[in-house]
A and B are shown apart, each in its own frame.
Chain A
Amino acid sequence: MELKTVQTRHVPVRYLEGGFGPDLVFLHGAGGITAEDPFVNALAAKFHVYAPLIPGFGDSEECPEIRDMLDFTLHSWDVVEALGLKDPVLVGHSMGGMIAAEMAAIAPNDLTRLALIGPPGLWDDDHPIVDFFTLMPFEMPQYLFHDPAAGAAMMSSGRSMEDPGFLQAYLVTNARQLGMAGRILFPIPERGLAQRLYRIKAKTVVIWGDSDRFVPPFYAHGFKKGIKGAELVSIPEAGHMVTLEKTAQVVDAIVRLG
């Protein structure tokens, strides 16, 4: 994947591009994305993938003008427009799935294929989504992965939290990325999507890891019920990071959208 820049109304946007096939836009989750991400690379084997970074993620410029859900949604459409794409396959994981669902709801006639992977955006008091803003880094894997030990190894990749330089870089990255994500996810990741889901016309697949302890599979049914004709693909032995734990199965489900 190649890291490039495209200008939008408010801010230059960094995006990953690669692969051959139908155009596909992938919106990443609150953890961000890198060119080495196994999931986008697997997607690139089947699609021409564009994966824009939310402003403030990675090395991209922050954008103070993007404050609320509508701003995120319209900005993401601005990016699609700036990339010169018409009706790409739209895929979003976690926070990216929440944004993708909003995009599909606000412009139902501009989108025919939609894949939502473990998105937040709905809320039920009896099934709380974990308050991940308060989690310590070492606590994350048990919520994100079906196999926390393997997940921890994937997340840390040899870095040390003891090194002050690393800690400061980590804090800065967190403040930038999760600070931005917090505008639509803090303190409860719900911004009224439930009352807009009915507008979605795209053929939709909702993909969920059965052992998702981050956004419980309970919500998969909420999306399936709310979006007319949506198909639900439940994947066993996978957590919230189903994209890393069962990469091929997720890609297959997206390919089936046609």
Chain B
Amino acid sequence: MKFTWFNLMPWPYLPDDFREKNRSVWVDIDQKLFDPAKSHEVYNTYMDLLEYADTLGFDGVGVNEHHQNGYGIMPSPNIIAAGLARRTKDAAIVVLGNSIALYNPPVRVAEEFAMLDCISGGRLVAGFPVGTSMDTNYCYGQIPSLTREKYQEAHDLIIKAWTTREPFAFNGRYNKLRHVNIWPRPIQQPRPPVHIPGGGSVETYDFCIDNTYSYSYLSFSGYLRAQALMNGYWKQVEERGVDKSPYRAGFAQTILVADTDEEAERLYSEHVSYFYNRCLHVYPGFADAPGYRTIKTIQTGALSQYAPPRGGYAELTWKDLVEGGHVIAGSPETVRQRMEDLIKGLNVGNIFCLMHVGNMPADKCMYSTKLFAEKVMPKLRDMFPDWADDNRFWTTPLDKRVTAGRLPKEAPTGAELARTYA
């Protein structure tokens, strides 16, 4: 199993009447609700928590990209990842990912991911999302029905830039480049492992299967609601005649651990409510620009994951969210049981653990994270013994890696230098 500690980086100061006074947490969210001075502490606390997860033995630390979004203040995940590459030792740096259709030219992603891989000593997991309609179409102005074509071209260009050993010309429809020759290139060969976040687009299944990429379903609705979608993925894997390694799939799950189930509710319910009521308050007109999803996907009935259930999330209580599986919360034993159900049920080897939720303060987050790392994670380690050696979807770091801050405390004297370079 691979457990990645993931932080969406929500803005923790949305007011109580946010839903009533604002139509959307995303795209046209009120500028005045962001306080740059407060964000100084928010960012640093969130990065501290990601670094803390590394010390507890999580396999990865995860970041992602959203724009103009009150629950994800990470328009550039690579900036956070660069900090993590320096300050963490062993965890994979899981950037899930860069919305490659938005970069002009996308060789920028090939370069920045290469830099992250080099700085971290080969610890990068590269994610290539198409990006949500909110981010890609409404914030970044991409034409919905051409987004996938542009995405595909960006992907082909990045992979070619990573794997070609001499300069080449790239005559694409969206990118005309005479001299592609990225410098630096990644440590991991032939390329860093690639994860593709998807929300039920059927074309994405084949794309992952064809390229040996891991398919990541990043939903906030929990594992019970994900079953139908993941069944569709595994059915396609089977029909295509490839192996059913659980590492072909990843799943994001909100997880909250306390000593007892009751304590979990007492400690975390307000933060869960903050996330599901305020943070997911997205104006439905932004959820799905016409042409963004393919006809085939709409016809399979996969309605947008951002469309809230009838009546809205506000009516969901802690009990509803826990029983409905949106949130896995409770004592270590409760969480272990439910995680086991999730992992077996969906056949997923990569878990993106959403362990910071809403406006959760750092102390509660550390408490929950530590309990999970010490009392839950070890018991889930060997869920897939048959696939223990499958490393096609995970990092291959250098054996000997340097860590940040290795310089001597003092600069050498001239005499010392003279001896060194005599």
A residues at B contact (CB < 8 Å): 64, 67, 133-136, 168, 171-172, 174-183, 186-188
Cα-based distance from A188 to B145 in the complex (angstroms): 15
Cα-based distance from A67 to B148 in the complex (angstroms): 13
With beta carbons under 8 angstroms apart, the residue of A64, A135, A182, A186 that contacts B285 is: A135
B143 within 8 A of A: yes
With beta carbons under 8 angstroms apart, the residue of A168, A176, A183 that contacts B301 is: A168
User: 7 more A-B contacts (CB under 8 A) besides A168-B301, A174-B290, A183-B146?
Assistant: A133-B285, A133-B290, A179-B145, A179-B291, A182-B291, A183-B143, A186-B291
Contacts A168-B301, A171-B298, A179-B291 hold; do A187 and B146 have CB atoms under 8 A apart?
A: no
B284 within 8 A of A: yes
B144 within 8 A of A: yes
Among residues of A, the one whose C-beta sits closest to the C-beta of B293 is A175
Q: Please classify the interface of chain A as helix (H, G, I), strand (E, B), loop, or mixed, using the class held by over half of its residues.
A: helix
Residues in A whose Cβ lies below 8 Å from that of B145: 175, 179-180, 182-183
* Cβ A134 vs Cβ B138 within 8 A: yes
Residues in B whose Cβ lies below 8 Å from that of A182: 143-145, 289-291
B407 within 8 A of A: no
With beta carbons under 8 angstroms apart, the residue of B285, B298, B301 that contacts A134 is: B285
With beta carbons under 8 angstroms apart, the residue of B138, B141, B284, B290 that contacts A136 is: B284
Residues in A whose Cβ lies below 8 Å from that of B290: 133, 174-175, 177-179, 181-182
Question: Could you pull out 21 A-B pairs where Cβ atoms are within 8 angstroms?
Answer: A67-B146, A134-B138, A134-B289, A135-B285, A168-B298, A168-B299, A172-B299, A175-B145, A175-B290, A175-B295, A176-B291, A176-B295, A177-B290, A178-B291, A179-B291, A180-B145, A182-B289, A183-B143, A183-B145, A186-B144, A187-B138
Residues in A whose Cβ lies below 8 Å from that of B143: 182-183, 186-187
- Chain B interface extent, by class: 20 to 34
Cα-based distance from A172 to B288 in the complex (angstroms): 12
Please report which residues of chain B, range 244-302, place their CB below 8 angstroms from some CB of chain A when the two chains form the complex: 283-286, 289-295, 298-299, 301
Residues in A whose Cβ lies below 8 Å from that of B298: 168, 171-172, 175
Residues in A whose Cβ lies below 8 Å from that of B291: 175-176, 178-180, 182, 186
B residues at A contact (CB < 8 Å): 137-138, 141, 143-146, 149, 283-286, 289-295, 298-299, 301
- Min CB distance A121 to B, Å, is 16
Residues in B whose Cβ lies below 8 Å from that of A172: 295, 298-299
Residues in A whose Cβ lies below 8 Å from that of B289: 133-134, 182, 186
Residues in B whose Cβ lies below 8 Å from that of A187: 137-138, 141, 143
Residues in A whose Cβ lies below 8 Å from that of B293: 175
Cα-based distance from A134 to B291 in the complex (angstroms): 12
Cα-based distance from A181 to B285 in the complex (angstroms): 17
Among residues of A, the one whose C-beta sits closest to the C-beta of B291 is A179
Residues in A whose Cβ lies below 8 Å from that of B294: 175
Cα-based distance from A27 to B149 in the complex (angstroms): 27
Among residues of B, the one whose C-beta sits closest to the C-beta of A30 is B290
* Cβ B144 vs Cβ A179 within 8 A: yes
Cα-based distance from A49 to B295 in the complex (angstroms): 31
- Min CB distance B375 to A, Å, is 44
- Min CB distance B181 to A, Å, is 29
Among residues of B, the one whose C-beta sits closest to the C-beta of A171 is B298
Residues in B whose Cβ lies below 8 Å from that of A183: 143, 145-146
Cα-based distance from A177 to B298 in the complex (angstroms): 14
Cα-based distance from A187 to B290 in the complex (angstroms): 11
Residues in A whose Cβ lies below 8 Å from that of B292: 175, 179
Among residues of A, the one whose C-beta sits closest to the C-beta of B287 is A134
Residues in A whose Cβ lies below 8 Å from that of B137: 133, 186-187
Cα-based distance from A37 to B330 in the complex (angstroms): 60
| A-B complex: 3 closest residue pairs judged by Cβ atoms | A179-B291, A178-B290, A134-B285
Residues in B whose Cβ lies below 8 Å from that of A178: 290-291
Cα-based distance from A174 to B138 in the complex (angstroms): 17
Residues in B whose Cβ lies below 8 Å from that of A171: 298
* Cβ B285 vs Cβ A136 within 8 A: yes
Residues in A whose Cβ lies below 8 Å from that of B138: 134, 187
* Cβ A134 vs Cβ B283 within 8 A: yes
Among residues of B, the one whose C-beta sits closest to the C-beta of A133 is B289
Residues in B whose Cβ lies below 8 Å from that of A168: 298-299, 301
Residues in B whose Cβ lies below 8 Å from that of A175: 145, 290-295, 298
Cα-based distance from A241 to B144 in the complex (angstroms): 25
Residues in B whose Cβ lies below 8 Å from that of A135: 285
Cα-based distance from A136 to B288 in the complex (angstroms): 11
Cα-based distance from A181 to B298 in the complex (angstroms): 18
- Min CB distance A59 to B, Å, is 13
- Min CB distance B152 to A, Å, is 12
